[in-house]
Amino acid sequence: MELDIDLSRCIRCGRCARVCPSKIFVQPEKGADIRMERKESCIACGHCVAACPTAAVVHSLFPDEKVHPVDRTRMPSPEQVMLLCRSRRSNRAFSSEPVPAQALDAILEAAHRAPTASNLQQVAFTLVTDPDKLRRVSDYTIGVFGSVVRKLENPVLRPLLRRLLPDAYRYLPNFHRLLDAYGRGEDLILRGATALLLIHTPAASRFGCQDANLAYQNASLMAESLGVSQFYTGFVCSAVGQDRKAGLGALFGIRGKIHAGMALGMPEFRFPRYIDKEPIKVARF
């Protein structure tokens, strides 16, 4: 990796020094020359390149074709962003129409654009659109829940588990509801979604869960803007968390840990209204 400053272009504004998280760029005082220290600590976030108004920062990881101007006039207004946030809902009323490939690509890019801890960019994605594979995801989830129910209701284990896992027994009615519905041919896991996005990181990733769910939120808002319905696959993620054999990862060749999932489909209808949430809880100091 090469990192340098083109002094013929540098106007000594100090932006690079202010935004670099690794403090590689140093400006002793306003208007002074910029110097660089500890280049090896660069995390390749690109802040310096993106912030420089004269393209004076030369970074080998960000050649000209990877750097793009931002047209602020095309940005959505704060009111438009707030409306998007207010109207975003987990819509499980899917039609049988598949999500267009172009929309799926945009959702994936939005997810990939989310920030990651230390700019490690270890978040990876598995997109499932094959109907048989989608059915197997639901089968897997129901299978894990069935195993949990059998353990919780085992007359030998029950007295011990009630003391160790009291909260688990609160979910028994829900588990039975899911199992009974699936037995009748009603899938309450993916709800007829035509696509599933699994978001995962290497198992050793320290902030994998946080990074993956930041990616999910980007993808969720992009889906809403595209008119694609989605919901967080909480049941699938719960099953993954209870499965020591990592069966779902094995099904798709995922090496690492699945932290989030999004079921996607084209809506039968879109919500014409949004409703207010409970009053916001904020502590201000």
pLDDT at 194 over 90: yes
CATH number for the domain formed by residue range(s) 3-66 = 3.30.70.20
Record the pTM.
0.94
- Residue 224: C-alpha distances to residues 68, 77, 91, 106 (Å): 25, 16, 10, 12
pLDDT at 202 over 90: yes
**What integer pLDDT is reported at residue 171 of this predicted model?**
86
**What integer pLDDT is reported at residue 190 of this predicted model?**
98
**pLDDT: is 166 or 137 the higher one?**
137
pLDDT at 25 over 90: yes
pLDDT at 158 over 90: no
* CATH 3.30.70.20 residue spans of the chain: 3-66
User: With bands split at pLDDT 50, 70 and 90, how would you rate the model's confidence at 164?
Assistant: confident
**What integer pLDDT is reported at residue 168 of this predicted model?**
84
Name 111's Cβ contacts closer than 8 Å, sequence gap at least 6: 123, 125, 197, 199, 215, 216, 218, 219, 222
* Length of the chain, in residues: 285
Residue by residue, DSSP assigns 109-162 as HHHHTS--GGG----EEEEE--HHHHHHHHHHHHHHHHHHHHHHT-TTTHHHHH
Name the strand (E) or helix (H) holding 264: strand 257-265
The 3-state DSSP composition of the chain as helix, strand, coil percent (nearest 5) reads 45, 15, 45
Instruction: Kindly report, residue by residue over 205-246, the tens digit of the pLDDT.
Output: 999 999 999 999 999 999 999 999 999 999 999 999 999 999
- The rounded distance, in Å, linking the Cα atoms of 12 and 30 is 8
pLDDT at 165 over 90: no
**With 0-12 CB in 10 A as exposed, 13-18 as middle and 19+ as buried, what is 165?**
middle
* CATH 3.40.109.10 residue spans of the chain: 76-285
Give the phi and the psi of residue 59 in degrees, each rounded to 5: -130, 120
**What integer pLDDT is reported at residue 256 of this predicted model?**
95
Instruction: Kindly report, residue by residue over 93-130, the tens digit of the pLDDT.
Output: 999 999 999 999 999 999 999 999 999 999 999 999 99
Largest CA distance in the chain: 79
Q: Average pLDDT, stretch 181-202?
A: 97
- The rounded distance, in Å, linking the Cα atoms of 61 and 130 is 36
Tokens of 35: 């110097």
- The rounded distance, in Å, linking the Cα atoms of 79 and 239 is 38
Instruction: Kindly report, residue by residue over 55-99, the tens digit of the pLDDT.
Output: 999 999 999 999 999 999 999 999 999 999 999 999 999 999 999
The CATH number of domain 76-285, selected from 3.40.30.10, 1.20.1070.10, 3.40.109.10, 1.10.3720.10: 3.40.109.10
Collapsed DSSP state (helix, strand, coil) of residue 32? coil
Tokens of 137: 């995801």
Q: What is the 3-state secondary structure (H, E, C) of 41-77?
A: HCCCCCHHHHHCCCCCEEECCCCHHHCCCCCHHHCCC
pLDDT at 167 over 90: no
Average pLDDT, the chain: 96
Would you say 132 and 109 are in contact if contact means Cβ atoms under 8 Å apart?
Answer: no
